[in-house]
Chains A and B, each alone.
Chain A
Amino acid sequence: MSRSNPVRVAPRYVAEVDEGGLGAVDAVRVSDRKSNLWLDAWRDLRSRWMFWVSAVVILFIVFVALFPGVFTQVPPNDECYLSNSDGPPQPGHPLGFTKQGCDVFSRIVHGAGTSLSVGIIVTVLVAVMGIVIGAFAGFFGGWLDSFLMRIGDIFFAIPYVLAAVVVMTMFLHERNILIISLAIGFFSWPGTARILRSEILRVKQYDYVMASEALGLSKFRTMFTHVLPNSITPLIIMSTVGLAAAITAEATLSFLGVGLPNNIFMSWGNDIAAAQGSLRTNPLTLIYPSIALSVTVLAFIMLGETVREALDPKARATR
């Protein structure tokens, strides 16, 4: 229809409230604000103090990880003098020194990057593996589903920190951030895959999926444009909490001595492990990195918690 066409397009008809009968049922209040799951969730999130606290803490940690130079000029590893061993705070060294004479504050600041990198790499890895495996199992069903889920059962049966311990023992001489992330991520995807699969099984039954197939869209197209975007919510929640779990796992592995090498990488888990010898004499060198680690993990868990409550109407109802 060209613009010059004289046929008038009828204006959208909005029924009067007092019209009565079926007309009123059809009426749409176009003046109302638009609403969808994400807008609702955002309105819900905005009103929660826990969301704002965790968001601010996370942004701050990201800033510290990206720009450690803003907070400290002291190199975390290169200026360690044994004469400073377990020393008290000095000007320029606000939190004192470790047993090796390194600056505690600088090591904590530089450790943020390590923790966040591991957390993000593991989360992306787990999300990708979980989406691919869960989506294929849930959408195509049949023997592929059974096969993939049995594989998931097998990986689920190995506690991922223990598996990572074995992997890291194998790679003792080439430990780095990528290897530790792979070691953690490779054994923690079954939970995500299971949840995504059950969500896809639920979404698959909806009419719009059948409509999409009836319109002739391929199975893949249907899956990626209609099923997956509608099943992604639980994945977001799991990823936030999973990021916290990955940070904890890295710290635990480093604490056990199979994580990142102490002299190359700054890791809070390493610092805590190194400080255990001075627990009686200088407990603060242990407490400071512990606080940094716990606050970071808490921020991500709190964020996951608030996002879960905002996105899950059932949780909202039982509150």
Chain B
Amino acid sequence: MAWYIVRRVLQGIPVFFGSTFIIYSMVFAMPGNPILRMFGDRTPSEAQLAALEAKYHLDQDFFTRYFLYLGDILQGDLGTTYAGQSVNEILARTFPTTLRLAILAVLIQLIAGVIVGLISGLRKGGIFDSTALIVSLVLISIPVFVLAFVSQWFFGIELGWVRPTVGPGAPWEDLLLPAFVLAALNFAYVVRLTRGSVIETSQEDFVRMAYGKGLPKRRVIPVHILRNSMIPVTTSIAQDFGILIVGATVTEGVFNVPGVGNELFRAINRHDTPEIVSIVTILVIVYVFVNLLVDLLYGVLDPRIRYVKK
């Protein structure tokens, strides 16, 4: 297990450097002098320009700047927006809300997805199964902003069950509708993965054995079938994390949830490049770490994965 952890962490290092480097080089390729942009219509003096270029390391070459930037990030300084706000402060303010929304969404998609997938898999070919498959196809097809608007209009305005936008402080009950929208994105994938996994596990010898020795269904299904079917579902949560990040940006924007996604949504609307790049970089780093964590968890859940096939 120790070797598995070491190997997996070592694999993560080039990904971390590579992905931050790609984003950084894209910004570097951007035309125009960012210092001049800070001054807007005014023309700065030579001395001002030189001082600011030195301050932001613009007089250094590309690689030096990348490593200075990376050093700043690793020390916890994420830069400032055009408006001069610290990205750290913005993230500190918004991150807890996004975390609550994401946890709620992942819980909903997992619980609902696993239950539906389990029933589908146990009774494959039945009416429930066929309906679930078609509903999941339709859900995959609806873009997240369409789903967000339609549910906002239907549940928030037509029926009036919930507030159409999230109120101050983002109470849990206001987060419920955005969380359902966010959960709908990956719900379909969880259903299909669970279903396939359950069908496969149900044909295993140990399941036949469990039935053979007289265990009741209420023990075989949760303990023998479901537990062994959960392994691929666990990793899928990490892989779908990318969808969750993009989904959160759109959902938080539509429902005005005061989270990181909403901040990114607004930054995109304002074309605030430094803020967009800082937030995207942070999200990519979070994504890399979540994938690392889930891979390690995968190794704990399924011992077979720890051994390398040569």
| A residues whose Cβ falls under 8 Å from a Cβ of B | 150-151, 153-155, 157-163, 165-167, 169-170, 172, 244, 248, 251-252, 255-258, 269, 272-273, 276, 279-280, 283, 286-287, 290, 293-294, 297-298, 301-302, 305, 318-319
Q: Indicate which residue in A151, A251, A257, A287 contacts B268 across the interface (CB closer than 8 Å).
A: A257
Say yes or no: is B223 at the interface (Cβ < 8 Å to chain A). Answer: no
Say yes or no: is B303 at the interface (Cβ < 8 Å to chain A). Answer: no
Contact B143 A297 (CB under 8 A): yes
Q: Indicate which residue in B15, B152, B271, B287 contacts A169 across the interface (CB closer than 8 Å).
A: B271
10 new A-B contacts at CB < 8 Å, known A165-B280, A252-B250, A273-B145: A151-B18, A153-B15, A157-B284, A157-B287, A157-B291, A159-B243, A162-B249, A256-B269, A294-B142, A297-B141
Say yes or no: is B56 at the interface (Cβ < 8 Å to chain A). Answer: no
Contact B23 A166 (CB under 8 A): yes
Count, A-B residue pairs, CB within 8 A? 134
Contact A169 B242 (CB under 8 A): no
Closest to A241 in B: B140
Say yes or no: is B144 at the interface (Cβ < 8 Å to chain A). Answer: yes
Q: Distance in Å from the Cβ of B15 to the closest Cβ of chain A?
A: 5
Q: Indicate which residue in A154, A167, A257, A293 contacts B146 across the interface (CB closer than 8 Å).
A: A293
Pick from B149, B157, B196 the residue with the most CB of A within 10 Å.
B149
Contact A294 B19 (CB under 8 A): no
Q: Which residues of chain B come closer than 8 Å to A293, judged between CB atoms?
A: 143, 146
Q: Indicate which residue in A158, A165, A279, A305 contacts B276 across the interface (CB closer than 8 Å).
A: A165
Contact A162 B246 (CB under 8 A): yes
Cα distance A160–B200 in the bound complex, in angstroms: 32
Cα distance A269–B144 in the bound complex, in angstroms: 11
Q: Which residues of chain A come closer than 8 Å to B23, judged between CB atoms?
A: 158, 163, 166
Say yes or no: is B54 at the interface (Cβ < 8 Å to chain A). Answer: no
Cα distance A39–B200 in the bound complex, in angstroms: 28
Cα distance A257–B142 in the bound complex, in angstroms: 19
Q: Indicate which residue in B18, B124, B200, B276 contacts A166 across the interface (CB closer than 8 Å).
A: B276
Q: Indicate which residue in A248, A290, A302 contacts B150 across the interface (CB closer than 8 Å).
A: A290
Contact A159 B269 (CB under 8 A): no
Cα distance A151–B17 in the bound complex, in angstroms: 11
Pick from B124, B140, B291 the residue with the most CB of A within 10 Å.
B140
Q: A157-B19, A244-B141, A301-B140 in contact; A279/B287 too (CB < 8 A)?
A: no
Cα distance A241–B254 in the bound complex, in angstroms: 26
Among all A-B residue pairs, the 7 with the closest Cβ atoms: A154-B18, A159-B242, A298-B141, A290-B146, A297-B141, A161-B246, A157-B19
Q: Distance in Å from the Cβ of B22 to the closest Cβ of chain A?
A: 7
Q: Which residues of chain A come closer than 8 Å to B29, judged between CB atoms?
A: 170
Closest to B241 in A: A159
Q: Which residues of chain A come closer than 8 Å to B60, judged between CB atoms?
A: none
Q: A154-B15, A290-B150, A294-B146 in contact; A301/B137 too (CB < 8 A)?
A: yes
Q: Which residues of chain A come closer than 8 Å to B144, judged between CB atoms?
A: 252
A-B CB contact pairs (8 Å), 5 listed = A159-B242, A159-B246, A165-B268, A272-B145, A276-B254
Q: Indicate which residue in A252, A283, A305 contacts B137 across the interface (CB closer than 8 Å).
A: A305
Contact B125 A319 (CB under 8 A): yes
Closest to B280 in A: A162
Say yes or no: is B27 at the interface (Cβ < 8 Å to chain A). Answer: yes
Cα distance A288–B124 in the bound complex, in angstroms: 35
**What sequence of 0s and 1s flags, for each residue 206-246 of chain B, a beta carbon within 8 Å of any chain A beta carbon?**
00000000000000000000000000000000000011011
